Amino acid sequence: MKNNGLLLVLSGPSGSGKDTVIAELMKLGLDMVQSVSMTTRAPREGENHGVDYLFVDTDYFTDAIENKKMLEYAQYGVNFYGTPKEPVDNWLSEGKIVILKIDVQGCENIKKMYPDALTVFITPPNMTVLEKRLRRRGTETDEDVERRLKIAIDEINKIPLYDYVVINDELEKAVDDVYTIIKAEQLKVSRRTNILSEVKDNV
Ligand code: 5GP
């Protein structure tokens, strides 16, 4: 699909720090919005409906799939996660940078529909750091942590499918890396369809 905006897919294992990276990016004055995903999982402490996710039940989610209201969706553990289609298409037509924080499965589906989507994988520097972060979060049982670590390894194995990988060891550096990637993407000739007429203004 052709549009003027930039669809930015950010993936990374749970605990990779992608939420913090996104929060910092939002402060940098880019014309950027983040899609709010829909999920059937229960809210964690401090999470709000409409901000962190649209928390819905399974019936609501499956209705949305049947009515073609989801851009993509995936099952992760026992829960569904997906991206509502309409707001994303509206933002892209307004020329915005639209962040999709989605998993590897979702990224593969998005690339099929939006081949010019920019895909970035945020990774922890290593599994030891990831495990520490997950345990520190304190919201997950031991079983959850083990399950998330296994899923993380599967996700990390998919890094070669992405356009870019950013190691989130130092937050500031990771944010700067993603910012640089966005800026370079926006400067691509293929995205600057009016460049010749702009430069040759009075020729
Ligand atoms: P969490 O439960 O930790 O918030 O998220 C679990 C996983 O679901 C993460 O890998 C996250 O990126 C992924 N996820 C969140 N929203 C979406 C979505 O809309 N679509 C897909 N495919 N994955 C999502």
5 lines ligand 1 (CB under 6 A): no
Q: Tens of pLDDT along 132-182?
A: 999 988 778 899 999 999 999 999 999 999 999 999 999 999 999 999 999
* pTM given for the model: 0.86
**Cα(9)–Cα(111) distance, rounded to whole angstroms?**
9
Q: Using the mean position of ligand 1's atoms as its centre, give its distance from the Cα of residue 175 in Å.
A: 20
> How many whole angstroms from 13 Cα to the centroid of ligand 1?
9
The mean pLDDT of 91-112, rounded to a whole number, is 93
Is the CB of residue 155 below 6 angstroms from any atom belonging to ligand 1? no
3-state SS, one letter per residue, for 111-172: HHHCCCCEEEEEECCCHHHHHHHHHHHCCCCHHHHHHHHHHHHHHHCCHHHCCEEEECCCHH
- Ligand 1 pocket member 185 (CB < 6 A): no
Mean pLDDT, the chain, whole residue set = 93
pLDDT of residue 2: 45
Ligand 1 contact via 167 beta carbon (within 6 Å): no
Ligand 1 neighbourhood includes 72 CB (under 6 angstroms): yes
